[in-house]
Amino acid sequence: MTKKQKRKLIRIIVSVILTAIAYFVPTIGWIRLVTFAIPYLIIGYDVLLNAIKGIIHGQLLDEKFLMSIATIGAFATGEYAEGAAVMLFYQVGDLFESMAIGKSRKSIAKLMDIRPEFAILLQDGKEEIVEPDEVKINQTIIVKPGQRIPLDGKIIQGSTSVNTSSLTGESLPVDMQEGDNVISGSINLSGVIQVKVSKEYGQSTVSRILELVENASSKKAKAENFITRFARVYTPCVVVAAILLAIVPPLFIGLSWSEWINRALVFLVVSCPCALVISVPLSFFGGIGGASRQGILIKGSNYLELLSKIDTVVMDKTGTITKGSFTVTAIHPEQVSEKELLSIGALAESCSSHPVAKSIIEAHGEIIDSSRIGEIKEIAGKGVLATIDGTRFYVGNSKIMELSECDCHDCHLNGTIIHIASDSTYFGHIVISDTMKPEAAEAISSMKTLGIKKTVMLTGDKEGTASVIAKEAGVDEYHADLLPEDKVSHLENCMSESNGVAFVGDGINDAPVLMRSDVGIAMGALGSDAAIESADIVLMDDKLTKLPLAISISRKTMSIVRQNICFALIVKGLILLLGALGFANMWIAVFGDVGVMIIAILNAMRAMKAKKPKE
């Protein structure tokens, strides 16, 4: 509890005691007025001051103004106890709201704790503590056990275990050693490591994530915008209705002024839209906070709302359904030896960061002799044209072979086939295999249980490999041999046939499809700038089980939002009607405002609870 909340709690306790004394001690006249006015002013002075400020600034019809008019009116008609009680219960509700919002912010606050406070810069053998944004690329920093890694980079000395739970929601530490990349925001657990910085602080993973979270509240869902527009129309209407209720019947029907003024005050108290204005944003904030604890970053409540409506999930294969950790499983040479075929492939792919290229370079296992390499041109979705030892080579899938003058040979093995040829000679092919993630089939099954009508896999791999993975994963539909632009075309076809489509990719080469879909979801995005930039939702690790969890959180959040809207409108509407007819007093009005608000807030807080997916 904050200092401000503690002070308000003390005021509430003092006001309760003084109000109880005033109620039970028999007094009359101005003495009774004073005994109730003291606790009223103790608990409500800030509300009255804010109402006055609102009048000065032309903001008349907010909840502070309504509460002030209602309670002052109660005192004016001699209902001292009711006036003091209404203000007291309003402040109790306000304290409860503040505590609920504070609790929902804790999950975000934990994420914000990833912000590093300092970096230990190693220069000329000396250690210097500096601000993280003072460190430049290629400089070396030291990270000691228990410290948060301040910047992205590669370990150049030492080994350790790293806790990435604040980023991924995964509690198990990850072992790291020399040559491994480390991510800012994670915690060094055991050994002293030296890290060569690969990104400045402003472009680091931790900085990008913090920016994402801080801007999430600016992107409001349709439900939030509806409540804002509704409150702007609703509040003036009920104020006008209350004024008419207080004036018209006594003038034209001849009934008691005090009776109708009291009914108008009841009308004002219950009319406050607090339950809606507070609980709906709180529900979204709770859903986003609960998701963040599981390593699911949602860029705004609008994307949470959109995710709840999807009925089709389109997925990339490599890195999403499969591990994306390619290994060379076969080498089928012609004209040259296996070693020479692998060497040509490694030289041609030496400038590429694609997982397939990396697997060939790793299998080659020797230092790349750059003097042998001439011009290298990458052709998207096909492969590369590389000049090696003065000869032009075509290295890639079957599509790039169409550019050469020789025919390639298909392979009986399933996997990604990398063909190698010159302008007139076919040199053979390399088979690279990727395996399906162990949790992929379970995740896809869970999505179908949640009501996802269709799952689709898109891949640039050949038909044979795609069909095997699609069958093992249990997707409803798959499309193979696709270029990047083909993926967008297939996605648009799915969008024309469904109510909402989410595309899930690894964020490295899927930016166009991520941005074109209704909801773009990037997974395994630790350190991936493309994913954090292009996607609407970011799954910070590579576990596909986070996807059904994200869908479940979004639907639970939207269910809570609808419950709160319906409950608040029905109860308030009923009490407004009863108040106008004289069947509801000030105490019922208090329940219609503060009681409904507290119940709605309690319901909204359920959005913060998100169960971890089964491992």
Q: What is the pLDDT of residues 257-276, one digit of tens each?
A: 878 888 888 777 777 776 67
Per-domain residue ranges for the chain? 3-109+217-284+555-608, 119-150+152-198, 297-323+436-553, 327-433
For the beta carbon of residue 559, count every other beta carbon within 10 angstroms: 15
Domain 119-150+152-198 CATH class label: mainly beta
User: Residue 615 pLDDT more than 50?
Assistant: no
pLDDT at 211: 66
Tokens, residue 85? 């009680």
Task: Say how far apart CA 417 and CA 143 lie, in whole Å.
Answer: 42
Q: Of 161-165, 166-170, 553-557, which gets the smallest average pLDDT?
A: 166-170
Residues 6+ apart with CB under 8 A from 544: 320, 321, 437, 439, 440, 443, 444, 504, 523
376: helix, strand or coil: strand
Percent of the chain with pLDDT over 70: 88
Edge-to-edge strand list for the sheet holding 519-523: 296-298, 537-539, 519-523, 501-505, 312-316, 454-458, 477-479
User: Residue 229 pairs with which residues in a beta bridge?
Assistant: none
Counts for the chain of helices (H) and strands (E), in that order: 21, 22
User: Is there a catalytic annotation at residue 316?
Assistant: yes
Average pLDDT over residues 16-20: 92
Task: Say how far apart CA 296 and CA 309 lie, in whole Å.
Answer: 18
pLDDT in tens, 430-481: 998 877 888 899 999 999 999 999 999 998 777 888 888 899 999 999 998 8
Residues 6+ apart with CB under 8 A from 509: 354, 484, 530
* Alpha-carbon distance values, 366 to 15, 331, 342 (Å): 80, 17, 11
Average pLDDT over residues 95-120: 67
Using alpha carbons, select from 44, 25, 90, 82 the residue that is nearest to residue 63.
Answer: 90
Of the residues 316, 506, 518, 536, which is catalytic?
Answer: 316
Q: How far apart are the first and last CA of the chain?
A: 35
b (16+ CB within 10 A) / e for 234-270: bbeebbebbeebbeebeeeeeeeeeebbbbbbbbbbb
Higher-pLDDT residue of 160 and 103 is: 160
- 415, amino acid identity: G
* Alpha-carbon distance values, 323 to 134, 418, 434, 437 (Å): 36, 19, 7, 5
Which of 3.40.50.1000, 3.30.300.30, 3.40.190.10, 3.40.50.10540 would CATH assign to domain 297-323+436-553? 3.40.50.1000
pLDDT at 29: 85
Mean pLDDT of the chain: 82
Higher-pLDDT residue of 510 and 386 is: 386
User: Residue 218 pLDDT more than 60?
Assistant: no
pLDDT at 42: 93
Higher-pLDDT residue of 193 and 82 is: 193
Tell me which range, 90-99, 137-146, 319-328, 409-418, is most confidently predicted by mean pLDDT: 137-146
Average pLDDT over residues 279-286: 80
Using alpha carbons, select from 553, 606, 566 the residue that is nearest to residue 276.
Answer: 566
Which of 3.40.50.10900, 1.10.357.10, 3.40.50.1100, 3.40.1110.10 would CATH assign to domain 327-433? 3.40.1110.10
pLDDT at 486: 84
Handedness of CA 167, 170, 175, 181 (dihedral sign): negative
Using alpha carbons, select from 200, 203, 164, 208 the residue that is nearest to residue 182.
Answer: 164
Tokens, residue 154? 């590669």
User: Residue 216 pLDDT more than 70?
Assistant: no
pLDDT at 527: 47
Work out the pLDDT band at 327, boundaries 50, 70, 90: confident
- Length, in residues, of the chain: 615
Edge-to-edge strand list for the sheet holding 327-333: 327-333, 426-433, 416-422, 391-396, 383-388, 373-379
Q: How many CA atoms lie within 13 A of 503 on its CB side?
A: 29
pLDDT at 554: 93
Contact 294, 169 (CB under 8 A): yes
Q: Of 61-70, 223-232, 369-378, which gets the smallest average pLDDT?
A: 223-232
Using alpha carbons, select from 268, 250, 259, 247 the residue that is nearest to residue 72.
Answer: 268
